[in-house]
Amino acid sequence: MNRRQTLLIAKYSTRYSVRGGIGLIFLLLSLTFGLVVAHTMLQPVEMAVKEITKDNPEADKQEITELVLDEMVTFAKPVVSWMVSDSNDADDVDAKRSADDWAGYLLEEQPAVLSAIFLILLFGWPFLIAFGAFDIYAGDIGSRQLRYQLLRVDRGSIFMGRLLGILTTFALVLMLLGLTVVVYMGAKLPMYTWGSLFSWAAQGVAAILWVSLPYVALCAWVSASFGSSFGSLTICSLIIGGVPLFATIGKLTHDAAGYLLYVLPWGFQTKLLHHDWSQVALAGGLCLGQAALFTWLGYRKFTRRDL
């Protein structure tokens, strides 16, 4: 594998991802999804503030916004606590306390609306990844166009270069999305300081990007294994969506089926937004481990298969 060639392929892969069409669809889907999530979270706050301001025209708008957000946090805290809890056992006091602390950190110590947006994005983003990364190699394998590149560059550089290119595209899209949401929130919700918004958004964007690593690596493995873009998209979507589906259904009859979630980051990805840094490091390490495994499997397949 040649480092210079890898970086060159990554650069062109990022630059031309939109030209190919798939990058364009991914860009449009991800920006729309992200902004719709932000819209869904922000609209109730804006509507409630408007209603109260209409009844009390003299009242300070910032104070009203703070009051509305406080009410919403009180209402949402048990729900978020339940969402992030590791245990379904209602008598497990330690797990409940830990989940309550975590929910408190997300909703009270950090900008609550931004936390809610990131929790939903963390859940929905893996599904979008399949649409952005399914065709890293599959289309060119199917059309046999990779043979022309193989005259000048080795298979390892093509594999790693394209993988790096798609990750760069994801990072750029996520940064654009994070910036748009933060600027809008900073302008509309003045009780949050720009510093707190930007630092939490940076952490949230980094968490989503980090969680993307194993999913993208999985898509790269699938894409390297199939000579059909459509087949690759179908398999990627089925695996990414099927894991939580089977885990949820299986858990109804066997508790152990819940561990199926850990085949992909579904079981621990929200821990990347945990208040305890050891939990963040553990979740980050697991993501990295899975990414390394899937990348190795994909690399192995791509470098040995008939192209």
The site for another protein (CB under 8 A) is made up of 18-25, 27-28, 31-32, 35-36, 38-39, 42-43, 46-47, 50, 180-181, 184
Let me know: does 131 contact 233? Beta carbons within 8 Å: yes
The DSSP result for 143-157, as a single string, is TTTHHHHHTTS-HHH
Distance CA 275, CA 103 (A): 9
Q: Smallest gap, in angstroms, from Cβ of residue 240 to another protein?
A: 22
Q: Smallest gap, in angstroms, from Cβ of residue 10 to another protein?
A: 18
- The residue among 64 and 239 lying less far from another protein, judged by its C-beta, is 64
- The residue among 3 and 61 lying less far from another protein, judged by its C-beta, is 61
Amino acid identity, residue 267?
Answer: G
- Residue 232 tokens read as 């690759």
Q: Smallest gap, in angstroms, from Cβ of residue 56 to another protein?
A: 18
Let me know: does 204 contact 118? Beta carbons within 8 Å: yes
Q: Smallest gap, in angstroms, from Cβ of residue 73 to another protein?
A: 20
- The residue among 139 and 267 lying less far from another protein, judged by its C-beta, is 139
Q: Which residues contact 193 (CB under 8 A, 6 or more apart)?
A: none
Let me know: does 116 contact 108? Beta carbons within 8 Å: no
Let me know: does 191 contact 112? Beta carbons within 8 Å: no
- The residue among 135 and 301 lying less far from another protein, judged by its C-beta, is 135
- The residue among 188 and 275 lying less far from another protein, judged by its C-beta, is 188
Q: Smallest gap, in angstroms, from Cβ of residue 43 to another protein?
A: 7
Residue 63 CB neighbour total at 10 angstroms: 11
- The residue among 69 and 213 lying less far from another protein, judged by its C-beta, is 69
Residue 29 CB neighbour total at 10 angstroms: 15
Q: Smallest gap, in angstroms, from Cβ of residue 245 to another protein?
A: 28
Let me know: does 122 contact 211? Beta carbons within 8 Å: yes
Distance CA 159, CA 232 (A): 16
- The residue among 118 and 299 lying less far from another protein, judged by its C-beta, is 118
Q: Which of 219, 258, 225, 261 is closest to 237 using CA atoms?
A: 219
The 3-state DSSP class for residue 18 equals: coil
Q: Smallest gap, in angstroms, from Cβ of residue 18 to another protein?
A: 5
Amino acid identity, residue 248?
Answer: T
